[in-house]
Amino acid sequence: MSTGNETFEEIFKQNERRIHYHIHKLNIRDPHQEFYSEGLVAMWNAYEKYQPDKGPMSTYFNYTIRNRMIDLMRKRNKEQENVERHKQEHKTRVDDGNHYRNGGATYPVMKVAESESSLYDEEFWQEMRGKLTENQWKWVRYFVIEDMQVKEIAEMEGVSIEAVKSWGKQVRRKLRGSVDEMHSIR
């Protein structure tokens, strides 16, 4: 390959097959010619930045074209992963919004049929109400029994969202303590 005063058009005609070679070698399907275009831009950049004392131009073309195509593949894969993640998050929200997180993964909460639901057991809740403050009971009644959102409860009670969350944390601590006491009695 000559490194004289050749124009890019002449260099391109001599090296266009390198772009096709790397597309084929990397097993890329390129129906919209995106990778071909990326290879062409990479070849132009390599032509502009080429320094003859650093090595042969063909080696520099191969290196630049291949790495730009790999970068584009990584970018496309990352975009696809983000799309899939957003689809899954949207699906979780649309299904009913109830989910729990464990180790970074999100799992939907299983729905319980109304006939199987023993959520409102009058005797149990009366006993629990006696152990809770008025605000803690509001959290249980609205969040647990009536399935309201924290934001809705905060607006209805005229308090901050953090206050409602705090009520829930206190309830969980108390209920956890009650469950531990029941287990130690048995």
Same domain, 89 and 12: yes
* Residue 105, domain member (yes or no): no
Structure tokens at 161: 């969202």
Same domain, 74 and 15: yes
Least confident of 14-28, 54-68, 118-132, 156-170: 118-132
Would you give the distance in Å from CA 85 to the centre of its chain? Answer: 4
Per the structure, the complete domain to which residue 177 belongs is given by 114-185
What does the pLDDT look like over 65-118, one tens digit per residue? 999 999 999 999 999 999 998 888 877 666 655 655 666 666 655 555 444 445
CATH number at residue 172: 1.10.10.10
pTM attached to this predicted model: 0.46
The total number of structural domains in the chain stands at: 2
Same domain, 174 and 122: yes
What does the pLDDT look like over 122-166, one tens digit per residue? 777 778 788 889 998 888 888 888 888 989 899 988 999 999 999
* Residue 125, domain member (yes or no): yes
Same domain, 79 and 39: yes
* Residue 13, domain member (yes or no): yes
